[in-house]
Amino acid sequence: MVLDMDRPTVIVTEPIHPAGIRLLEEAGAEVVQLPPGSDERALMEVAPRADALITRGGIRVTRAIMAASPRLRVVGVHGVGCDHVDLGAARDLGKVVLNTPSALTATVAEMTLALMLALTRRVVSADKAVRAGEWTRKYGDLIGSELMGKTVGVIGLGRIGAAVARRLKPFDVTLLYYDVTERTALEDELGVKRVDLDTLLRESDIITLHTPLTPGTRGLLSRREFNLMKDGVYLVNTARGKVIDQRALVEALKAGKVAGAALDVFEEEPLDPEDPLASMDNVILTPHLGASSREAMRRMAVQVAEEVMEVLRGGVLESPVVM
């Protein structure tokens, strides 16, 4: 349906799937796509034209940018994390903020499981060993651990955390979870047990993080928390980098407290190649790829485009981040 209003301008700050762009244009919007690698200054230059912004998180949407956009009605987040958007400013200025959590759940859950298996079975190191002619390492440091019989602690049992737990259940693991919200229905469905954070840290063989970045979760795992963990624990993070104190993690890895970590997110992105994590053989690093499947990229682009246009038409969303 084409909009019955002056043609709105939608600024897309980073590349999204063409299906989303096509949907916006067919609905009557003028789409302005910033070049890859653009920054806040580039966004500020076009902000006064914007009726809507679509962002993937690479450019911060600040109070100044929103204030410079008198026509701006909605900020659509292509993804789930909204920590790059000043939500307080959006409330103050009357801007709607929406995201697309359901579009990426399966993809992030699958990535988490892939990282967990690669970490515990030393897949990345094994690949490097074969390429280097080090076949006999299979008798030594390439011997991994199986998931069966292990206790897996899930920090955050929302959409993605629950999807991870659901995929882990067939591996015959014991599942613990920590969440500020009690998830009774999921406890019954998946056989997961709710515990406090300290108990989860003490009892888990593998810990996987699925919590948003909030003032309460920033630095959730720091030196104290690492000291509580079992010796030889494995850690997977596909949530937000700042949930972990990265310096404390490096210390725990060097000391052997953490046997290995698989990290898709970091305190600062992109990760500095000189960061200590980059030289550690017991760490798997990926460049924030959790939601990067072909299927999820298309779903996110289409969903964010549909919901942005719904707001511009005057419609009401079921569960916006900020209304």
C-alpha span between 201 and 251 (Å, rounded): 17
Contact yes or no for 152/168 (Cβ under 8 A): yes
Contact yes or no for 65/47 (Cβ under 8 A): yes
Specify whether 146 is catalytic.
Answer: no
C-alpha span between 188 and 317 (Å, rounded): 30
Helix or strand run (H / E) with residue 208? strand 206-209
Specify whether 210 is catalytic.
Answer: no
Specify whether 298 is catalytic.
Answer: no
Q: Shortest CA distance to 78 belongs to which of 35, 28, 16, 18?
A: 16
137: amino acid identity, one letter? R
56, 210, 240, 299: the catalytic one is 240
288, 299, 307, 310: the catalytic one is 288
146, 182, 269, 295: the catalytic one is 269
C-alpha span between 258 and 249 (Å, rounded): 8
| DSSP H helices in the chain | 18-26, 40-46, 63-67, 87-93, 101-120, 123-131, 159-168, 184-190, 197-203, 223-228, 246-255, 294-312
In the block, tokens 């992109």 appear at 270
SS3 53: strand
User: Would you please indicate which residues are annotated as catalytic (active-site) residues?
Assistant: 240, 269, 288
